[in-house]
Amino acid sequence: MATVTVFHDEKPMAIVIAEGKTGSKALDYAYMATQNIDNSWSLTAQELGAKGNVVLICPNEYDAGVYIGHRSTSIGDKMIIDEQIFEVASFGFERIE
């Protein structure tokens, strides 16, 4: 089982558990798991807690009685898998030496 740590602007945001996936498939899974498509990925992760495949490292902000979710993972963000760092590119991921 691969785990991917997702960073936004050098700040650790979440650990994604990519069950049954390795390498680029695990990175793809982590990218998709941290997108705000149908709803906020981080609010969903907060709601599911230990039952989900996304574990928040950086908690959601709380303002005026409402939790505010994090942005989607995007170009320039980084991911770490198997002690290797990858940057999200316009298409896929680029390994950082």
51-82 pLDDT, tens digit per residue, is 789 999 999 999 999 999 999 999 999 999 99
Q: pTM, whole model, 2 decimals?
A: 0.93
Place of tokens 């709601």: 47
Q: Domain extents for the chain?
A: 2-96
Distances (CA, A) of 50 to 19, 44, 54, 55, 84: 14, 11, 8, 7, 25
The answer to whether 2 and 22 have CB atoms below 8 angstroms apart is yes
pLDDT band with cut points at 50, 70 and 90 for residue 13: very high
Q: How far apart are CA 89 and CA 95, in angstroms?
A: 10
